[in-house]
Amino acid sequence: MRPAFVLSLALVACTAQAGRPLQAEDAAVMDPQACEIEGAHGDWRLGEDGQRQTSLQLGCGIGWGTEVALNVIRPRELALNGKTLLASAAWADGDAQLTLAWSLSHRHVETVWRRSSAGLILVGSVPLTRELSLHANLGHQRDEMVGRRSTTWALAVEHGGFGEGGRWQPMAEVFGDDRGRPWANAALRVALLPDRVFVDASYGRQFAGARARLKTVGFKFAF
């Protein structure tokens, strides 16, 4: 697989910001009138090839179990993302949720805006214990720029937090698609102000083959 295409798949997978700092999405949906501002910077490397991406996203809950977000991505891309809660059921240590997530992106090419990608993801989240949650994703993604479709998947475990107020929130995941080898990713979110201000970072590698690597840093402000 060409290095440029491997990197493009990683960029497409991360366009929707997902459940920062994970690449996997989580099933939680923001309450009506609740909003979040998220920023992220990603660095993808494969040998001597590499790409960087910086994004800023505003998302809000709009009711009916739905949230929408507008993501401005450098260089020259806009993404409209959303999630809708499909089902929720009581579980031993919380609620199990099933959500449909979607994304639609456009990129500025020469003098026009062109649709660059579109995707749907079925997301399930289940509390394993009072502190641990499991997130599972199965999706379909189309990269319009190279005319390729792929089936995407992810499996992640997230901890509710260690320390005072659950400040330190580690998590880990595996994710990939049907066109390349899977990735492993470790991440950490730190609550500077509980339930309001967060910073995060992640580091991931492909299991074998090309051995691409992915590093991200980001923040979130909830209001």
Q: Report domain extents, the chain.
A: 3-222
64: left (phi over 0), alpha (psi -120 to 50) or beta: left
Instruction: State the pLDDT at residue 7.
Output: 47
What tens digit of pLDDT does each residue of 101-152 get? 999 999 988 888 888 889 999 999 999 999 999 999 999 999 877 778 999 9
What tens digit of pLDDT does each residue of 158-199 get? 999 999 889 999 999 999 999 888 999 999 999 999 999 999
DSSP states along 106-120: EEEETTEEEEEEEEE
pTM for the model stands at 0.89
Tell me, which fold does domain 3-222 have in CATH? Porin (2.40.160)
Both tokens of 58, joined, read 């505003």
